[in-house]
Amino acid sequence: MKEIQDLINCLNVQKNIVITSHRNPDGDAIGSCLALKSVLDAHLHVVNVVVPSDFPDDLSWLHGSGEIYVYDREQDKSLELIKSAEVIFCLDYNSLERVDKIGEAIRVSDATKVMIDHHLYPDGFADILISEPEISSTCELLYEVFKGAGWLSAITIHGLEALLVGMITDTGSFKYSISPNTFKNAGEIISQGGDIAHVQDMLYNHMPEKSLRLLGHCLSNRMNIYPDRKAGLIYLSKKDYMDFNIQRGDTEGIVNYLLRLDIVNIAGFISEQPSIVKVSLRSKGDFSVEKMAKEYFRGGGHKNASGGALYSSLKTVISTFEEATEKYKTEIINSY
């Protein structure tokens, strides 16, 4: 693959490197950054990770997560690192709009920009573009890049764990967007020492009590089902956030519960944040929530998992979801 050869050539002498990922980083974002850092560290480059906003507490067990620079907390240092970088990696995002303020710093930088991502329709700003929307996670794609570049011997046990985190979280524990290769790659990672039982345990058996109670609240009091269009919605207000002391990451995965219903082909999760209202969309089968996220919620993502955000009231965004699912009713019903 030409891009991998370009990457090898770009990194054949020691470089000052910054690895970035998207705002509200998730398991795939943090996992891919830390796995890549572990390999580049072993190759003796100078490597820093910078993300726009904080990541969920439940990823803080990952080795190296304490050294990640969060722009919201360390603005000057984050911008200075990006300014002085010779190579900038853009992992798990397809557009500089997904990285807020650091996007402009990346855009104007003279560094070689390397995008490794699995979202649809990548922007054209990268010098080396490795974009594979068919692959379930950036971590899986990154593992393929390591293999292709001959870098597997450099990866540490912690790096393997970080790769598994992204592969597991982006596929909902190997349930969505999977291919035979996903399992082949996971199998190889495990046979090289990646402790998948430990990773699953750290990801799913350390939930704070309030998160389970919040899930109960969502399912009992904040769930609308629209059987006429096979849609389901869960929404949370600012007050819910206060009442349940909800932190970043506490709502991760709640939207997927709606897909457990036979009568739901499209699921929405709408949450009222301090200044925006965030929307998560999921679908079963052929219906593309990526298109809906773009058309209605200024967002994007993947065919079956997308998101967006609007500067409107919670009520308006709920109405927008209702309007969007009404408009595409026939497609949604026939999609699965």
Return residues touching Mn ion (CB under 5 A).
28, 92, 138, 170
Site for ligand 5GP in 265-284 (CB under 6 A): 280
Q: Closer CB to ligand 5GP, residue 29 or residue 47?
A: 29
Q: What number of chain residues touch ligand 5GP (CB under 6 A)?
A: 12
Based on the shown chain and the rule CB under 6 A, indicate whether residue 302 belongs to the binding site for ligand 5GP. Answer: yes
For 43, half-sphere exposure in the C-beta direction (CA atoms, 13 angstrom radius) is 25
d(CA 63, CA 110): 30
Q: Closer CB to ligand 5GP, residue 24 or residue 112?
A: 24
Q: Closer CB to ligand 5GP, residue 39 or residue 279?
A: 279
Determine which helix (DSSP H) or strand (DSSP E) holds 8, and give its type and residue range. helix 2-10
Q: Which residues of 116-145 are buried (b: 16+ CB within 10 A; e: fewer)?
A: bbbbbebbeebebbbbebebbbbbbbbbbb
3-class secondary-structure state, position 86 = coil
- Residue whose Cβ sits closest to ligand 5GP: 307
Q: Closer CB to ligand 5GP, residue 15 or residue 282?
A: 282
Provide, rounded to whole angstroms, the least separation between the CB of residue 148 and Mn ion: 19
Q: Give the number of other CB atoms < 10 A from CB of residue 186.
A: 22
Provide, rounded to whole angstroms, the least separation between the CB of residue 255 and ligand 5GP: 7
Alpha helices in 222-328 (DSSP H): 238-243, 289-297, 314-327
| Tokens read off for 7 | 């990457």
Per-residue contact flags (x/-) with ligand 5GP for residues 95 to 124, judged by CB under 6 A: ---x--------------------x-----
- Give residues in contact with ligand 5GP (CB under 6 A): 98, 119, 280, 299-302, 305-309
